[in-house]
Amino acid sequence: MTSLNLLPTLQPLVKQLESEFEKIPEARKQLLLELTKFVQMKVDSHKKVYLNFICTHNSRRSHVAQIWAQAAAAYVGVEGVECFSGGTEATAFNPRAVKAMREAGFEIKEVKAGDNPVYEVNYSAHAAPITSFSKTYDDPFNHNQDFAAIMTCSHADENCPLVLGASARIAITYDDPKEFDGTLQEEAKYKERVHQIGREILFAFSKIDVVG
């Protein structure tokens, strides 16, 4: 398997986050290794890997995690990974989260305006862009059979006991930067969450044994 070069704008942050794996608490690492195990099982079976990152409104954390996971898979050279995101309801990919991901180094272009805009997210010049918009987790756009449901917020984890079609369910929840919207801490908290999710997703994928 061949790793893809990430965008030059993204590479410095990825290198930084890789150097910060020791910041991840041991309990978090054990949760993240559940994601590693699911991906490893599919890789070892020569099957495609489908991941669906789920949060209540599919507006912030689930999008951030989906995008980081797709980039991380390419970066470490795990082929056949397709990442999706969804919610228990659809709203919009929050513009604050879009801004924070752009500042992290992703190239994000709005291709359809509206209350629920559609974006194309680039992480590598050698990969197709990710199409990002808010949707329910079972939207036809998503892969709906034999996927890992990654619960990125505690509300969705607690209130969505059954994720139809999922063959694995892993709770890797994050605090919502929404709590700081409109405050002086807003920009810093979105950056903090983008970095935390990136660091942890990169850690999970770094532990996969990629067979060449």
Residue 185's CATH number: 3.40.50.2300
Identify each DSSP E strand in the chain by its residue range.
49-54, 81-86, 107-112, 118-122, 130-132, 147-151, 166-171
In a domain, 211, yes or no: no
Residue 175: exposed, middle, or buried by beta-carbon count in 10 A (0-12, 13-18, 19+)? middle
39 falls within a domain: yes
**Band (206; pLDDT cuts 50, 70, 90):** very high
| Number of domains making up the chain | 1
The predicted structure's pLDDT at residue 161: 62
116 CB neighbour count, 10 Å cutoff: 15
Q: What pTM does this model have? A: 0.95
Residue 2's pLDDT is 55
Expressed as residue numbers, the domain containing 94 is 11-206
